[in-house]
Structure 1
Amino acid sequence: MKYFIRIALLSLVTIPLFIYLGFWQLGRAEEKKNILNNYNILKKSVPVAIHSVNQITSLANYQPVSLSGKFDNKRFYLLDNQIINGHTGYDVIMPFYLNSGDIVLINRGWVPQGITRTKLPVIDPITEQVNLQGKLYQPSNHFVLKEDILTNSIWPQVIQRLNLKQLYSTLSSPNILNKVIVLSANSTYTFTHHLKPVNILPEKHTAYAVQWFALACLVLMMAIVTGFYAYRHKHNPMLTSK
């Protein structure tokens, strides 16, 4: 009977938890489906010509855009811990001056890490005015153990996440945007393009949900079987004497 009580208490805790986690994974799957649907719809749309940062605030995530201006070759960021095919590197995030003078941040893609972490990659300057195409991207604010400490005197600066408010403030930009522009894969100025709308596909979230529901069923079956045997032993003392 004591064993049954332990199983029952365990079931009361774990079954609701497993069911909650299962439905949470189903919700994540639906969320990822919506993101992918919007991404696939928007990638077929005509790029919106950007002349000022005010246009960007009203545009959707992954909206194709085109813009003209010049890169800031002296001040740029290297987004750390970007891994492609098992190789560690950086995403190159560069300020870009529109013809209006407004600043936007451009993700030029991935470059490999040097032989040591103290040897940062060399980015060749682009001095001429250029025309670019890309997609708007709003980064997620993932939890980090330590915030980046940025300065306006040492460049390039290695960062751990895209805290856009902090980056624009360091650049002394009067406008702070919640999106960067990821250059198109076929752009002359793109290094290695690796933009993915989602890191985990909806099908994987659904598979995780099935696993959680299966665990809930397993615990429930354990509780039922244990309860059945406890009931038999309680009402048939001959079983306990054998």
Structure 2
Amino acid sequence: MSASSGSSEKFSVTPRWNWKLISVGLVLLAILIRLGFWQLDRAEEKRQLLSFIEHQQSLPAISFAAVDSTENGEQLAYRQMQMRGEFDSSHYWLVDNKVFRGKVGYEVVAPFFTSDGEAVLVNRGWVAAPPHREVYPDVSFPESEVEIRGRFIPVSNNKMVRNLGSSAMAGQWPIRIQQLAISDAQQALQSESLINHSLPPEILQLSPNDPSALEMVWRDVNVSASKHQGYAVQWFSMAVVLVIALIVANVRVHKKSLSQQMIDGEQPSGADEPQSNNNKKLGIAQKGSA
């Protein structure tokens, strides 16, 4: 009884288009797909950048005095460079909000005056911030002429970060800033009559094993290429889930009973086979009576 009842039921799927929902879903789908491809593009950019850095650092170190002023920044970027001269221990910048091993501190950027009379900004590394905000850390400097070695890196600024303190640089040293701007640093040094020429657009990042280096862990990229790929997979997965949700939301699955199938003029499920068996039995009976 229950078997015949179950076999007489039939499932049907009919679309029910909700165009408002579909429109919103398609917009979201386009955004998710675009974000996925954007993350793939970012991953490729990081791979190319790391490959370029590896190539530049594999080249022999060069002397800053031998650098041709006509060379562009791309040729010098991430090149190992060495120079001899003195730090200016009275004028330097503290780049704020730098975290090292879970502690908040500053990166110390100081002008370095070479033996040839040139000036270069040097990032010496990280120092811990004192407990009180109004107290600046005590930074020690080499007292005599030294030879330093590091790599030239381009300076990139985040336009969303307001460079507090850069407008009132002169006369208050060290200067705490949110990010380094070469133009502001040059203006501050010129106002102190320390330089009368332009600074290089790059900054020298000291090698970790240099005697003048402070604590440091240089990271060439904040987010690796593999992480960008992982983010892309997440966006594409969300797009797939959205497509499935749209399909489910725009179809109606309903069950028809035997009586409903007969009203709709449909052949009830399982009705063909019993009829065929009855016909066979009838034929056998007729042959037997003949």
Contact 2:119 2:199 in 1 (8 A): no
Whether 1:82 and 2:105 are equivalent positions in the alignment is: no
Structure-2 separation of matches of 1:19 and 1:177: 42
For 1:16, the equivalent position in structure 2 comes to: 30
For 1:116, the equivalent position in structure 2 comes to: 132
Structure-2 separation of matches of 1:199 and 1:139: 15
The one of 142, 146, 153 aligned to 1:137: 153
The one of 43, 51, 71 aligned to 2:57: 43
Whether 1:30 and 2:33 are equivalent positions in the alignment is: no
Shift of the 178–40 alpha-carbon distance from structure 1 to 2, 3 Å rule, reads same
Whether 1:193 and 2:209 are equivalent positions in the alignment is: no
Cα-Cα RMSD: 2.1
SS in 2 for 1:196: coil
The one of 59, 62, 77 aligned to 1:61: 77
Q: How many residues align?
A: 232
AA matched with 2:250: G
For 2:279, the equivalent position in structure 1 comes to: none
SS in 1 for 2:168: coil
- Compare CA radii of gyration and give the structure with the larger one: 2
**Structure 1 unaligned blocks of 5 or more:** none
Calculate the TM-score normalised by the size of structure 1: 0.88
Give the drift of 1:143: 2.8
Structure-2 separation of matches of 1:56 and 1:111: 33
Structure-2 separation of matches of 1:84 and 1:124: 19
For 1:221, the equivalent position in structure 2 comes to: 244
Whether 1:176 and 2:199 are equivalent positions in the alignment is: yes
Query: Which deviates further from its counterpart, 192-201 or 47-56?
Result: 47-56
AA matched with 2:64: I
Query: Which deviates further from its counterpart, 52-61 or 161-170?
Result: 52-61
**Structure 2 unaligned blocks of 5 or more:** 1-14, 255-259, 261-290
Give the drift of 1:3: 8.6
Give the drift of 1:56: 6.7
Q: What are the superposed Cα offsets for residues 15-50 of structure 1, whole Å, 9 maximum, x if unpaired? A: 110111111100100011111111222222211110
